[in-house]
Amino acid sequence: MTDTLIVRPDMDIDADVIDIILRYPPLVSDRHHIQVKVNDGVVSFIGHTSNPINRGYLVDRVMALPGVVDVNAEALYDDVNISLATGQVLPTGVIANTYYGTVVLSGKAPADVDTVAMRVAQVPGVVRVVTTFGEAVL
């Protein structure tokens, strides 16, 4: 038995991807933070999900759609992994909370807030850094 390549219009694949997002309740709150592009059966995501479970579910379900050739999720980040990566660059006493790529720094103010904020801004997936220390906003 040979695999048959199913060719479908990109518009139909896009509609199915949106349907997956809207029918999986945990992804519904993520929907405004995810951009979907379909080109010749390749689905590309840009944006953020709240956690790796939502991200994995979305990628796996989309890959199984008829007509999908590949899924590019390199630019689809999740807040849990962003928080973990951010924690690696923070000094002791600084706390990071992540909301769809926006990282809010709080806790004990570091000596050089701007330097810490710039290190956090370089973490993949971070789109904005806000501090409660009254200084850096990137």
| Domain ranges for the chain | 10-77, 88-131
Architecture of the structural domain at 10-77? 2-Layer Sandwich (3.30)
Burial 89-104, CB ≥16 within 10 A → b, else e: ebeeebebebebbebe
Distance CA 14, CA 31 (A): 13
- Measuring CA to CA, which residue among 12, 5, 20 is closest to residue 62? 20
Q: Which pLDDT value is given to residue 136? A: 54
Q: Which residues pair with 128 in a beta bridge?
A: 102
10-residue mean pLDDT series, the chain (138 residues)? 74 97 96 97 98 98 97 98 96 95 93 92 97 68
Is 87:96 a contact under the CB 8 Å cutoff? yes
pLDDT for 6 equals 80
pLDDT in the model for residue 133: 80
pLDDT at 135: 54
